[in-house]
Copies of this chain bind each other. A is one copy, B any other.
Amino acid sequence: MATISDVAHRAGVSTATVSRALNGKSTVDPELAARVQSAAAELGYRPNGPARNLRKQATAVLALIISDVENPFFTAVARGVEDVAHAAGYSLVLCNSDDEPAKEREYIDVALQERVAGILLTPTGDADSAELLARYALPVVAVDRPLPDSTGDAVLVDSRRAAEQAVLHLAEQGYRRIGCLTGPRGVLTADDRLAGYRDGLRAAGLGGSDELVRRSEFRATGAEAAARSLLAEAAPDALLVANNAMAVGVLAALAELGRRPGRDVGVVAFDDAPWTTLIDPPLTVVAQPAYDMGALAARLLLDRIAGARGEVSTSTLSAHLVPRGSSTRG
């Protein structure tokens, strides 16, 4: 593949001039610039990225470490990030941590090696990861969950408050034994939503009991089993479900048990998705602004990279309840 000196040779100038001409730097004689342009075009010259990155001691690459691209919430985040990054001339390397600290650390290591300009991640909460990031002073923005010790900017959703409102909504609709299906202990969004659930029960004057709470992975199969056990053992008349994938499992369990959402068991789930209006009754959801979170996070990160030195910021966007049929009796 043609190098800059091939181009220089063909255009009859030095490599310095080629570089300047191609990067529109300083003043290059228009005629020479034209010669360079055409020489580059004829040779199909593409600057060598690694060489340029080495010399400039900087790359135009961001790392995005999310739990799982197959989760529509993270997918929307990724899309927001990519759109902003791309508009700014940055590329994105995609990493699935599956919420495993070991994988997370491994990917951070790769990012460090590749000297990416910054990292966006949904932290597993692993302290070593955070320490690694801090040690190398790599620009970081956390999405969906904060970093341990809240080093670095974060773009969050007020899950707790949203969960509380979801419970209040269920209570208003006349549900009394409201259960909660949330994610693994230690995952902040899972714990937050549970806390919000408890806030809601308290605010509604409903006593809660741990019997009405189940945890599972943030996936359909685990949630299905958890829902089944909860329904059998605690007889809830409504459920707050902590994410979209879990909702699939819960709805499957209800269908199998012949319990109709809304009339028999009120259901509210986190995360909106296109299909939630297609089921009967339509699913009441807590819609999170995933795309916007990604876009905002990317912008914050680019600002940091550009050298904005301000205080560490935490942006908390709010989720909003979208009431539909699954949370009304009748």
Residues on A facing B (Cβ under 8 Å): 1, 44, 46-51, 53-54, 59, 61, 64, 68-70, 72, 75-76, 78-79, 82-83, 86, 91-96, 109-110, 112-115, 135-136, 220, 245, 248, 251-252, 255, 273-275, 277-280
Nearest chain B CB to A91 CB, angstrom units: 5
The reply to whether B114 and A49 form a contact with Cβ atoms under 8 Å apart is yes
The reply to whether B59 and A69 form a contact with Cβ atoms under 8 Å apart is no
Question: A280 to chain B: which residues have CB within 8 Å?
Answer: 279-280
The reply to whether A78 and B69 form a contact with Cβ atoms under 8 Å apart is yes
Query: Most chain-B CB neighbours within 10 Å: which of A50, A61, A91, A136?
Result: A50
Question: A82 to chain B: which residues have CB within 8 Å?
Answer: 69, 94-96
The reply to whether B61 and A69 form a contact with Cβ atoms under 8 Å apart is no
Q: Contacting A110 at CB < 8 Å: which of B51, B91, B110, B245? A: B91
Per CB-CB distance, the 9 closest pairs between chain A and chain B, nearest first, are A50-B53, A275-B275, A49-B114, A94-B94, A50-B54, A248-B274, A49-B113, A50-B50, A46-B112
The reply to whether B93 and A44 form a contact with Cβ atoms under 8 Å apart is no
Q: Contacting A72 at CB < 8 Å: which of B44, B72, B79, B92? A: B72
Nearest chain B CB to A256 CB, angstrom units: 10
The reply to whether B220 and A49 form a contact with Cβ atoms under 8 Å apart is no
Given A69-B79, A69-B82, A70-B72, 16 more pairs with CB closer than 8 A:
A47-B113, A48-B115, A49-B113, A49-B115, A50-B50, A50-B53, A50-B59, A68-B79, A70-B79, A72-B72, A82-B94, A93-B94, A94-B94, A245-B274, A275-B275, A275-B279
